[in-house]
Structure 1
């Protein structure tokens, strides 16, 4: 399926939001903008899909998770997919690794959002910080993260955090590829059964190619959160920025 030919289901508008990384302020701004569009245009149906990496690096991962728990409870057309950082957070809570993804790439900021000063310099500080964090993270947050699916599909579009393994059927994808894959997917030039909408690999600008769309605009350093909007055959990109 080529991007130019791809469509959402008839009557459905789909918003796909890139990596959030703890930026609750921008997530709220994006939802306000989307709510305004939906109220104005009154599409027959809609979905808001968050492409994972809710946590790490930014200032309020706890707030992002709480916001999305409430959004999904309010209307299940708000959908959230798992990213590798979200899984890494759960992995650290289960077994603290001082050189794992969470400890090395923004986990301290996530811990701080729960009121914990996480130090991983030695075994004693790691054990203490892990214990404090495990006690501070609400069970509801952990249950929410554990239940996140790794993909969704609507019309001619397939949504996941990182990408797919080329030449493997969409319903047979390895769950780890869906949150981790990079080069094999990013460098693949041919069309896929559906257009893949993803994040995971930050770029200065959104990437719109024939076979995929990358909406990860590196919010943790750029201050820009981006979403793809698909309404029938119409496609466009929207962004919100830090003031």
Structure 2
């Protein structure tokens, strides 16, 4: 049985990621981080945007995944950067502008290298991961029981964006149904996407996006122990970015 460390939405908070690795007992070897007990880090998407060091996060996660030292699934911000790289007509918003500003500072060769490696990472990554003999599923925004084992547009939309209604709230954010409140599946679902002030455990689901880029924490869930490592953010606290769910 493997032991996993699920790491929530990093959003360019590179220093907090390195601190998390150190606090969780990882050691730096050949420019990547490995755990002496062979624990496997699982990055659950949204590596970039809004934070100060998106490219450093992309490069580290890509390197660790290439060396089979980590697992990765994409988030909606990863998907948007990929669509930008392949030339789709997208709106530069939601934090993507911070990543593009970093990209503008690269030499043309460094830009091409990062673009190529990230596109390969994205293209070779599953939308969600079924781990530990199908006892735990990692999906960026979550996944309901009836979609596990399936693919297609409906699954892709849910995994990247959550159970969206198509409406927006007064802050311009997509309205999302609280799918975890009604989850009854046997598998543990580990997800992020929707920032919460502390890891949210409900109905065999765990939301570990504790809003690092909004001044909260960067959180890792240690499985199967079901314990956490939390690193305080260096970013200013933005209370209105955190969702408050009824428990």
TM range (shorter): 0.7 to 0.9
Deviates more, 1:210-219 or 1:64-73: 64-73
- Which gives a bigger RCO, structure 1 or 2 (Cα 8 Å, sep 6+)? 1
* Unpaired runs of at least 5, structure 2: 28-32, 164-175, 235-247
Preserved contact between residue 22 and residue 62 of structure 1 (Cα < 8 Å): yes
Q: TM-score w.r.t. structure 2 length?
A: 0.74
**Please, which of 76, 100, 120 is the counterpart of residue 111 of structure 1?**
100
Q: Which protein has the bigger helix share?
A: 1
**Alpha-carbon distance between aligned partners in 2 of 1:171 and 1:196, rounded to the nearest angstrom:** 13
Q: Alpha-carbon deviations, 1:32-62, whole Å to 9, x = none?
A: 223349x9x954x522100000111111111
* Unpaired runs of at least 5, structure 1: 1-8, 118-130
5 Å-filtered alignment, 1:188-207, equals: 188-207=181-200
**Structure index of larger Rg:** 1
**Please, which of 77, 80, 101 is the counterpart of residue 88 of structure 1?**
80
Runs of 4+ in 1 over 6 A off after TM superposition: none
Give 1:32's aligned residue: 22
5 Å-filtered alignment, 1:1-243, equals: 9=1, 12-36=2-26, 43=37, 45-74=38-67, 76-97=68-89, 100=91, 103-115=92-104, 137-155=114-132, 156-164=135-143, 166-173=144-151, 174-182=155-163, 183-184=176-177, 186-231=179-224, 234-242=225-233
**Alpha-carbon distance between aligned partners in 2 of 1:154 and 1:137, rounded to the nearest angstrom:** 29
Alpha-carbon spacing, 1:42–1:17, altered in 2? closer, same or farther (3 Å): same
Q: Alpha-carbon deviations, 1:95-132, whole Å to 9, x = none?
A: 3545x3xx110111101222359xxxxxxxxxxxxx9x
Alpha-carbon spacing, 1:185–1:153, altered in 2? closer, same or farther (3 Å): farther
Q: How many residue pairs align between the two structures? A: 209
What displacement does 1:169 show? 4.4
